[in-house]
């Protein structure tokens, strides 16, 4: 979506046509109520649960037509482009899904003068703090650190807690990367191995900063830099936000501090926002991620229990909903997984997307084969196969080489090799013959196109679900930031490079 069409209401960017958060939230709820069944499908269960038959009949006929090309699904899901012969109801669905998506094009919220000044500051971030990062991570850390520095200055926050700090890339840039920054940092992660790794990175960085090369580059060493970062280990979830607040106070003192996080996973994002709401933190700057790890109260919402990991503990606040605007919405595990889709990237990697379609088709086909011939119960959850390596496939091919000589097509042989490699990895006792695999592939020969169509439809409503989560969290912050406070939510990163690119910002007066 073009950011020039975005509307900013109370600091939160909204799609074109909406001028209030309430109207947008209501439209999101209505859209999910009408089309949520698509998000609740699981692609592995595609054949076993007959997902194809759940689509409107005219959609089935359109996708099943011999003239329909799978590659056109990529453009449909990425840009909302549909062919002239597309059924009107399908055209309406595509148009509505894109119209409801939270604006994800990178938004320039600064004046041109400020942007120019910020660019100069970015160029001043020494390379010592950006080493070890992928280009994607580097761009995210640079952008987010600039925003955090602005909010810290605006709220007089000299102490910052980086929650879910991992290896400490963002932490070190905040502590040392900007010559004007004097902030003290608390880097928190649940994994002590990550914390130890971050400490080693910090020692290495400090060693370089003390060296002659840093001095020749104009970096002025200050011994106070040694103690600027403290590392802490703490499991953070919706039940331990009090412990997080205590850890911050113990290490940062009672003075005003702020919270931040880059791609905080699932309920970690919700817990960080709850910590802000329940503490005296001056501000929070957060980029959420991994929506599939968010918990819901299934019993309260009347939803079906799809996965225990997505249920909150009895009596505890779930990760969703946080605000009052979505108190009657239940998403479910599969819908939360759909929110993690990144369809805008598809058009930039057509070959990779087509391979993804093929790989997911094989997974769904394997599940069907295991149920129909391998003794797996339809009520049993499909076991997670994980990544199948080239070595796994080569081993399976060698073991089945005698059977592969019987004249099977490339697609039939490809599925047989995949199926046997996957079952070997699962240590499943039953092993199908190549002939059984080929027969299954022939039986479901139309399945690739059908499954790809459903995958594309799910990816589009995934954007709507992500929008629900973003608005819910922004509304929750608005409910708790106090009189005179402010909340904003907007796209901070390039959506193609960084699919999870929405940042939430709240600051108290």
Residue ranges per structural domain of the chain: 3-7+25-100+449-461, 112-337+462-507, 351-445
Confidence band of 381 (pLDDT split at 50, 70, 90): confident
The predicted-structure confidence for 434-480, as pLDDT tens digits, reads as follows 999 999 999 998 899 999 999 999 999 999 999 999 999 999 999 99
Predicted pLDDT of residue 299: 61
Instruction: Report helix, strand or coil for 258.
Output: strand
Q: What is the DSSP code (8-state) at residue 182?
A: -
Pairwise CA distance, residues 170 & 326, whole Å: 32
Q: How high is the pLDDT of residue 481?
A: 87
pLDDT exceeds cutoff 50 at 349: yes
**Mean pLDDT across the stretch 38-46?**
93
Percentage of the residues of the chain whose pLDDT score is greater than 70: 90
pLDDT score for 111 = 42
121-157 pLDDT tens trace: 444 566 777 777 888 998 999 899 999 999 999 998 8
Count CA atoms closer than 13 A to 231's CA, side-chain side: 22
* Confidence label for 298 from pLDDT (cuts 50, 70 and 90): low
Mean pLDDT of 226-231: 89
Q: Mean of the per-residue pLDDT values for the chain?
A: 88
Instruction: Give the pLDDT of residue 125.
Output: 63
**pLDDT tier for residue 76 given thresholds of 50, 70 and 90:** very high
CA distance 20 to 7: 9
Q: Residue for token digits 């240590």?
A: 427
Global pTM? 0.91
According to the model, what pLDDT value does residue 297 have?
Answer: 80
- Of residues 153, 127, 152, the one with CA closest to residue 142: 127
> Greater confidence, 242 or 57?
57
Q: pLDDT for 161-177, tens place per residue?
A: 999 999 999 999 898 87
For range 324-336, the mean pLDDT: 92
With contact defined as beta carbons under 8 Å apart, do 289 and 264 qualify?
yes
pLDDT digits (tens, 9 = 90+) for 253-272: 767 799 999 999 999 999 99
How far apart CA 445 and CA 415 sit, in angstroms, is 12
**Which band of pLDDT confidence, cut at 50, 70 and 90, is reported for residue 305?**
very low
Q: How far apart are CA 158 and CA 234, in angstroms?
A: 22
Q: Is the pLDDT of residue 372 over 60?
A: yes
> Residue 35 pLDDT > 60, yes or no?
yes
Nearby residues of 223 by Cβ (< 8 Å), 6 or more positions away? none
From the list 75, 492, 2, the residue with the least C-alpha distance to 289 is: 492
Closest CA to 495 of 342, 372, 348, 280: 342
Lowest-pLDDT choice from 340-349, 368-377, 379-388: 379-388
pLDDT of residue 402: 87
CATH, domain range 112-337+462-507: 3.40.50.150
Q: What is the mean pLDDT of residues 9-34?
A: 90
Across 359-379, average pLDDT: 92
pLDDT at 8: 58
Higher per-residue confidence, 204 vs 73: 73
pLDDT score recorded for residue 422: 95
């Amino acid at each position: 979506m073009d950011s020039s069409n975005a509307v900013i209401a109370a600091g939160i960017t909204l799609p074109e046509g909406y001028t209030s958060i309430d109207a947008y939230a209501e439209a999101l709820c209505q859209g999910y109520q009408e089309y949520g069944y698509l998000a609740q499908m699981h692609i592995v269960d595609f054949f076993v649960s007959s997902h194809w038959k759940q689509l409107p009949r005219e959609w089935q006929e359109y996708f099943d037509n011999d003239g329909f090309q799978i590659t056109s699904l990529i453009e449909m899901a990425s840009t909302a482009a549909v062919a002239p012969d597309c059924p009107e109801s399908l055209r309406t669905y595509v148009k509505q899904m894109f119209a409801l998506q939270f604006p994800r094009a990178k938004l320039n919220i600064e004046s041109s003068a400020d942007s120019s000044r910020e660019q100069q500051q970015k160029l001043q971030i020494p390379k010592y703090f950006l080493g070890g990062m992928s280009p994607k991570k580097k761009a995210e850390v640079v952008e987010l650190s600039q925003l955090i520095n602005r909010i810290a200055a605006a709220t007089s926050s000299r102490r910052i807690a980086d929650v879910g700090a991992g290896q400490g890339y963002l932490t070190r840039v905040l502590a040392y990367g900007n010559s004007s920054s004097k902030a003290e940092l608390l880097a928190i992660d649940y994994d002590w191995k990550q914390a130890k790794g971050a400490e080693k990175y910090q020692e290495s960085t400090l060693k370089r900063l003390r060296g002659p090369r840093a001095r020749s580059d104009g970096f002025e060493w200050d011994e106070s830099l040694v103690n600027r970062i403290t590392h802490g280990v703490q499991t953070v979830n919706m039940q331990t936000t009090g412990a997080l607040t205590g850890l911050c106070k113990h290490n940062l003192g009672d003075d005003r501090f702020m919270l931040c996080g880059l791609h905080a996973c699932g309920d970690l994002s919700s817990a960080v926002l709850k910590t802000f709401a329940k503490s005296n933190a001056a501000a929070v700057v957060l980029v959420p991620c991994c929506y599939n790890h968010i918990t819901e109260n299934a019993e309260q919402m009347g939803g079906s229990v799809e996965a225990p990991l997505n249920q909150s503990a009895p009596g505890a606040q779930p990760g969703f909903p946080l605000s009052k605007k979505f108190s009657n919405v239940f998403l479910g595990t599969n819908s939360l997984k759909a929110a993690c889709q990144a369809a805008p990237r598809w058009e930039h990697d057509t070959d990779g997307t087509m391979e993804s379609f093929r790989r997911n088709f094989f997974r769904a086909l394997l599940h069907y084969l295991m149920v129909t011939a391998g003794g797996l119960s339809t009520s049993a959850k499909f076991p997670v196969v994980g990544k199948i390596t080239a070595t796994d496939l080569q081993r399976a091919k060698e073991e089945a080489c005698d059977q592969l000589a019987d004249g099977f097509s490339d697609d039939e042989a490809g599925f047989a090799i995949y199926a046997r490699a996957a079952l070997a990895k699962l240590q499943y006792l039953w092993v199908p013959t190549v002939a059984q695999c080929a027969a299954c592939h022939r039986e479901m020969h139309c399945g690739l196109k059908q499954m790809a169509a459903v995958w594309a439809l799910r990816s589009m409503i995934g954007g709507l679900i992500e929008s629900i989560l973003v608005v819910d969290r922004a509304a929750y912050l608005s409910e708790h930031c106090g009189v005179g406070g402010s909340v904003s939510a907007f796209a901070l990163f390039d959506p193609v490079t960084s699919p999870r690119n929405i940042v939430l910002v709240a600051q108290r007066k």
